[in-house]
Amino acid sequence: MQNYKIDFIKLLVKAEALKFGQFTLKSGRVAPYFFNAGSFYTGELIYALAKAYAGAFLDAAVDIDVIFGPAYKGIPLAVSTTEVLYKEFGKNVAYCFNRKEAKDHGEGNLLVGAPLTADTKVLLIDDVMTAGTAVRESMDVLKANGNPKVNAILIAMDRMEKNNDGENALAAVENMFGVKVYSIVNLDEVIEVLHGQKIDGVIYIDDEKMKMIEEYRKQYGVS
């Protein structure tokens, strides 16, 4: 496993962006873990998060011009990742994000940042993915604003779950849009790093929590 993945998983639990216990998700599922990218709200944390996104993007070796971050959580992800790519890796790409509502004054555009055309190659960046609803909304925004080519989608964590139709959630999105979905880490990698291992003296996934995860995955998980 690459070092940036291990560092990222440790960062997730230290920042309390990834918690283990019992959580009711929007879908109604009661999950033994919960991911929240909103926990990365300091300069140190958002920089570390962006560096992990940059590492995953470079691993994917996708050809892009612009990183698009959907409002609202995707905005800091897109901006900070473009900055890290330039400062740390010498790769100069642009960012773009959408407003929830178009302005009726000034430039009046729905999008902020790099202009998009049919020739623009885009990476769609977000935190997590479940049913693909947010991706569909982003695709609609992009289609109506320049209709660029979305070459890849990058998320922080692949929960490795089925959607509400019983399909592999990520595979369903890939099939729906014809776009490859990449993640910084997946659940298997999280378990590999955390199960029974102390991180700064804390075991985040002990045998009891691991049993809860295994039971949950029997119902909702994919391999």
What are the Cα distances from residue 147, in Å, to 121, 143, 187? Answer: 10, 4, 33
β-strands 149-158, 180-186 pairing? parallel
Structurally, how many domains does the chain consist of?
Answer: 1
Q: What is the CATH number of the domain that holds 141?
A: 3.40.50.2020
What tokens were used for 220? 């909702």
When pLDDT is averaged across residues 11-32 and rounded to a whole number, the result is 90
Render pLDDT for 134-179 as a digit per residue (tens, 0 to 9): 888 899 999 999 999 999 999 999 999 998 888 998 999 999 999 9
CA–CA separation, 1 and 125 (whole Å) = 22
Catalytic residue among 103, 143, 180, 211: 103
The per-residue pLDDT for 128 is: 81
Confidence of residue 89 (pLDDT cuts 50, 70, 90): very high
For residue 20, what pLDDT is reported?
95
161: β partners: 221
Q: pLDDT tens digit string along 33-55?
A: 999 888 999 999 999 999 999 99
Residue 106 has pLDDT above 60, yes or no: no
Is 211 among the catalytic positions?
no
Return the SS3 of 124. Answer: strand
Give catalytic status of residue 103 as yes or no. yes
Taking the C-alpha atoms of residue 98 and residue 112, their distance in angstroms, rounded to an integer, is 6
Q: Which domain holds residue 53?
A: 3-220
Catalytic member of 26, 100, 105, 198: 105
pLDDT, tens only, 167-223? 998 999 999 999 999 999 999 999 999 999 999 999 999 999 999 999 999 999 997
How large is the average pLDDT for residues 83-105?
A: 87
**Residue 45's Cα: distance from chain center in Å?**
15
> Cα separations (Å) of 142 from 83, 117, 165?
22, 9, 26
- What pLDDT is attached to residue 133? 74
Sign of the Cα pseudo-torsion (152, 155, 158, 164, in order):
negative
Q: Which of 38, 99, 46 is nearest to 68 (CA)?
A: 99
Identify the three-state secondary structure at position 200. Answer: coil
Q: Give CA–CA dist 65/212, Å, rounded.
A: 42
Spatial distance between the Cα atoms of 191 and 131, rounded to a whole number of angstroms:
23
Residue 102 pLDDT class (50, 70, 90 cuts): low
Whole-angstrom distance, CA of residue 65 vs CA of residue 35: 29
Per-residue pLDDT at 129 exceeds 80: no
- pLDDT, residue 131, reads 61
Segment 93-108 shows an average pLDDT of 73
Q: How far is CA 139 from CA 70, 132, 142, 152, 171, in A?
A: 10, 11, 5, 12, 17
